[in-house]
Amino acid sequence: MTETRKPLLATLLGEATWPPPVWLMRQAGRFLPEFRALREKAGFLTRCMTPDMAVDITLQPVRRFGMDGAILFSDILILPWAMGQSLDFVAGRGPVLEPVRSLADMERLDPGRVAQAVQPVMETLKRLRAIVDGPEPIGPAQPGQVTLIGFAGAPFTVACYMVEGHGSREFEETRRLAYTDPEFFNRLIDLLTTSTADMLCAQIEAGAEAVMLFDSWSGLLPPSQFRQHVIEPARRITEIINTRHPGVPVIGFPRLAGIMAVEYGQRTGVNALALDTGADMKTLAEKLPATLVLQGNLDPIRVLAGGEGMRQEARAIRDAMKGRPHVFNLGHGVIPTTPPEHVGDLIKTIRAV
């Protein structure tokens, strides 16, 4: 008997499966009433750091819709928090951190604390892996079908929040410091590169079957800095993962990179390139090696809007990628006000071939 591989994992390793596997960025989150109910009970960091809750939240969307992937419920800012930077999630404002803006500020961070501090996250992954590989179906997902995805923020995006101290449209202070104090900024990127690689390897050791690197703000950088602070760190992180855990696929998401996504796909060594809403996947596909898996990229607002328009566009993206390894996903996270029925309808549409 030949062993049937999990569809998402097989695709991330280069197989062109049909219909494509599907999961959604930010699928574990506020658009689900069962997530909002837990939110009343505990703060965000508590939810991330309590394995019972994090396991439950990770599986909520899979139980409802049977996605091919379950993405760990956590956050990209857990890494700076684990190094000792103060972090708070303030309702209506998002994350608030004590800014790190100099070598002296950086000295106060301790990467040696990370492994211990993220222990609950590893426990969550361990339990999740036992569940996804267990004998029970998870909602409509059959046993042995769901791939467990770990993740981290990419160094540049995490540096944006660490330096700025909060979300921003432009991250001006971060980008200014990259020019005026390159010694500090390069060392911060370096520290994040090694600690992110270590954390992703720990996630793999705990049970993650694939990992994703979110570079949500990479598109803010000009090409020279994009090469230095986005491509080079992603290349180093992928190389470390490939060395320590050969065969575990890495997904890179250089959001808003435009044409620089091509160079990212060619030079980082990632197995899969996640594309944002603005990317013309077909045009980019022609410029990229046929072995590079593409992931994306339906407009999250299309899912908020729903209906026949959503179904048509979802099919168009799926069909345009037929014949090459493609993971269906959105171009960015699910919008919190999205009606859950629209997500159910989307998953069904992708699978109806």
Q: Footprint of ligand CP3 on residues 319-338 (CB under 6 A)?
A: 333
**Catalytic choice (5, 39, 127, 311):** 39
Q: Which is nearer to ligand CP3, 76 or 324 (CB)?
A: 76
**56 given a catalytic annotation:** no
77 belongs to the binding site for ligand CP3 (CB under 6 A): yes
What strand order describes the sheet that includes 272-274? Answer: 69-71, 147-153, 210-215, 250-254, 272-274, 293-298, 326-330
Look at residue 170 and give its three-state secondary structure: coil
73 belongs to the binding site for ligand CP3 (CB under 6 A): yes
**75 given a catalytic annotation:** yes
**Catalytic choice (75, 198, 215, 299):** 75
Q: Cα–Cα distance between 311 and 309 in angstroms, integer?
A: 5
Look at residue 223 and give its three-state secondary structure: helix
95 belongs to the binding site for ligand CP3 (CB under 6 A): yes
Distance in Å, CB of 77 to ligand CP3, minimum: 6
Token look-up 């960015």 returns 332
**Contact string 257-296 vs ligand CP3 (x = CB under 6 A):** ----------------------------------------
Peptide bond into 340 cis (omega under 30): no
Distance in Å, CB of 91 to ligand CP3, minimum: 7
Of the residues 8, 25, 49, 62, which one makes contact with ligand CP3 according to CB under 6 A = 25
Is 28 annotated to bind a ligand? Reply is yes
Long-range contacts of 230-235 (CB under 8 A, 24+ apart): 230/154, 230/156, 230/254, 230/257, 230/260, 230/264, 231/263, 231/264, 231/267, 231/268, 233/154, 233/155, 233/156, 233/189, 233/192, 233/193, 233/196, 234/154, 234/264, 234/268, 234/270, 235/267, 235/268, 235/269
Count of beta carbons in the 10 Å neighbourhood of residue 180: 9
**26 given a catalytic annotation:** yes
**Catalytic choice (47, 64, 101, 161):** 161
**227 given a catalytic annotation:** no
Of the residues 84, 139, 167, 340, which one makes contact with ligand CP3 according to CB under 6 A = 167
Q: Near ligand CP3 by CB under 6 A, which window of 27-35, 114-122, 136-144, 198-206?
A: 27-35
Which two structure tokens, joined as six digits, stand for 103?
């070598």
The alpha carbon of residue 132 and the mean position of all alpha carbons in its chain are separated, in whole angstroms, by 19
> Applying CB under 6 A, what is the total number of residues that bind ligand CP3?
23
94 belongs to the binding site for ligand CP3 (CB under 6 A): yes
Q: Near ligand CP3 by CB under 6 A, which window of 28-36, 109-117, 198-206, 307-315?
A: 28-36
Q: Cα–Cα distance between 220 and 211 in angstroms, integer?
A: 24
Count of beta carbons in the 10 Å neighbourhood of residue 63: 17
**161 given a catalytic annotation:** yes
Helix (H) or strand (E) holding 237: helix 232-244
Is 159 annotated to bind a ligand? Reply is no
216 belongs to the binding site for ligand CP3 (CB under 6 A): yes
Binding site for ligand CP3 (CB under 6 A): 25-30, 39, 44, 71, 73-77, 89, 94-95, 151, 157, 167, 214, 216, 333
Q: Which residues are part of the catalytic machinery?
A: 26, 30, 39, 75, 161
